[in-house]
Structure 1
Amino acid sequence: MARLPRLSLPDMPHHVLHRGNNRQTVFVDDEDFQQFSNLLRQLAQTHLVAVHAFVLMPNHFHLLITPQTEQGLPLLMQALGRAYVRYFNARHGRSGTLWEGRYRSTVLEPAEPLLQCIIYIDSNPQRAGLVAKAEDYPWSSCAHHLGAKPMPWLRDPAAFWALGNTPFAREASYAQMLAYGLSQRESLALTDAVQGGWAMGSEDFVQSLQSKTVRRLHKKSAGRPRLTLPSDE
């Protein structure tokens, strides 16, 4: 079955996932993490992409971003992937591919699904057992969202600003949401959406997106098509 083209829409938030080839390590030490973080900050600005949340795990990374142009997302990911591979191969004395084929991405409704995605991203190291508290992980946006380590290059989306009228109120509200966490169903929905490239949000949101693209935005129903019986009318 042919793969669906990636969905990339300007001014809409996208959840992006990219892994190392065969899930190999792509960040060996702090120098690697820092280099990728620097490249992300610089290249996002170059390609007019706002970064809302991120996490760099040893063998993969997640981004929550909003491109200003239709080509902003693919141009950023292409430039970021190539620049980091050149650096990584030169530093670690290797050659060849580093990434697992295509990156995965999906569009999110800029409301509750977006906030869920921020929590999903920021809590990833804690779920993986790398830290006891999500804010202790140095290579994510969690400390920024909690106000412990502001990162001026990150852009808080409107849904985050709506959490409170002051920075303290927003940070306190987010801390409560982070502590409560996501249900297994919510986490699986976010994983499924980014893996399959399915738009995530309300039915009205997905329908509004569908009017902007011919690409299918949701899964087909499992099994055979339902038989339509003749109407009695």
Structure 2
Amino acid sequence: MTYRKHPIFTEQIYHVYNRGIAKEPIFFDKKDYLRFIEVINFYHFSSPSLRFSYYNRLELESRSHFLNELEKNADRLVNIFSFCLIPNHYHFVLKEVEQKGISKFISNLQNSYAKYFNTKNKRSGSLFQEMFKAVRIESDEQLLHTVRYIHLNPWTSFLVKELNQLKNYPWSSLQSYLEFNSFPFLQTELILSFFKTNEKFSSFTFDQADYQRKLGEIKHLMFD
């Protein structure tokens, strides 16, 4: 068993990420991304009374009612400030609300999604690398730069060809920050509190895009 070198502390914020085993894809199509987002929304709550697999078999009205009750009454394992899903990995900025909340959330998320993915693709075995990474955010500056890094990931990875297409990338919290879309589990207030307007946030994000992509190219040449 692998043990974490640096423990995760309650009430602290972390950049959390993991990739597919051997850098293999974990998302093949829109259905996969939507499933992962559904599981995020379900398992960021503390101790739902149903497993996701059972919840997913309920009628749409019953599922909506169940989630509404969780929203009103359930505690949360984590607060989710940003996320981005890329074909072979994911990123989050999370605050641990409940003790061991991040570990519980990621474990439930990965296990539930891996069962779906393996069944869908007739495969077996691990889908994700053994231990997710968690980097503690130690300053406001680091927090903002990490959120920007995550939101620019589809551009850095050449998943979008034009920078102005980034705001339309559907599998990222950037759309919520730019008010194009919303995710029920996402909390944008903390990050936006550092900016006078959403336009200021947008400028902060996009002004460094080319520089981040260049760094990504250099990293690829050096380490891959």
TM-score per shorter chain, which class?
0.7 to 0.9
Give how far 1:8 is off: 0.9
Rounded Cα–Cα distance in structure 2 between residues aligned with 1:84 and 1:150: 22
Q: Are 1:145 and 2:174 matched, yes or no?
A: no
- Matched with 2:116 is 87
CA distance in 1, matches of 2:80, 2:171: 14
1:61 equivalent in structure 2: 90
How is 1:206-217 mapped onto 2 (pairs within 5 angstroms)?
none
The match for 1:120 among 138, 149, 164 is: 149
Instruction: Say which of 81, 84, 97 aligns to 1:52.
Output: 81
1:110/1:159 contact within 8 Å kept:
no
Give the aligned residue type for 1:87: Y
C-alpha distance in 2 between matches for 1:49 and 1:161: 19
Structure 2 CA distance for aligned equivalents of residues 40 and 84 of structure 1: 10
The TM-score, its normalising length taken from structure 1, stands at 0.72
Q: What's 1:195 paired with?
A: none
- For 1:42, the aligned partner's letter is F
Deviations 1:166-211 (A, max 9, x none): xxx1x11111001112655xx78xx9xxxxxxxxxxxxxxxxxxxx
Separation in structure 1 between the aligned mates of residue 166 and residue 184 of structure 2, nearest angstrom: 20
How has the CA–CA distance of structure 1 residues 127 and 135 changed in structure 2, closer, same or farther, with 3 Å as cutoff?
Answer: same
What displacement does 1:45 show?
Answer: 2.1
- TM-score of the superposition, structure 2-length normalised? 0.75
Greater shift in the superposed pair: 39-48 or 141-150? 39-48
SS in 2 for 1:105: strand
Paired position in structure 2 for 1:229: none
3-state DSSP class of the match of 2:44?
helix
Contact 2:77 2:104 (C-alpha < 8 Å) held by counterparts: no
Q: Which residue of 1 is the match for residue 104 of structure 2?
A: 75
RMSD: 2.0
Count the aligned residue pairs. Answer: 181
Residue 36 of structure 1 is matched in structure 2 by 36
- CA distance in structure 2 between the partners assigned to 1:125 and 1:65 by the alignment: 20
Match of 1:105 among 117, 122, 134: 134
Percent identity reads 25
Shift of 1:7: 2.7
Q: After superposition, give the CA deviation of every residue in 1:90-132 in whole Å (9 maximum; x if it has no partner).
A: 1111111111111111110251111111110111001111112
Contact 2:81–2:191, Cα closer than 8 Å, also in 1: no
Secondary structure of the residue aligned to 1:78 is helix
What are the ranges of 5 or more consecutive residues in structure 2 without an aligned counterpart? 47-75, 220-224
Structure 1 partner of 2:49: none
Secondary structure (helix, strand or coil) at the match of 1:5 reads coil
Residue number in structure 2 paired with 1:135 = 167
**Larger relative contact order (C-alpha < 8 A, sep ≥ 6)?**
2
Q: For 1:157 and 1:106, how far apart are their aligned partners in 2?
A: 21
Give, as a single letter, the amino acid of the residue that structure 2 aligns with 1:44. H
Higher helix share: 2
Q: Tell me which residue corresponds to 1:13.
A: 13
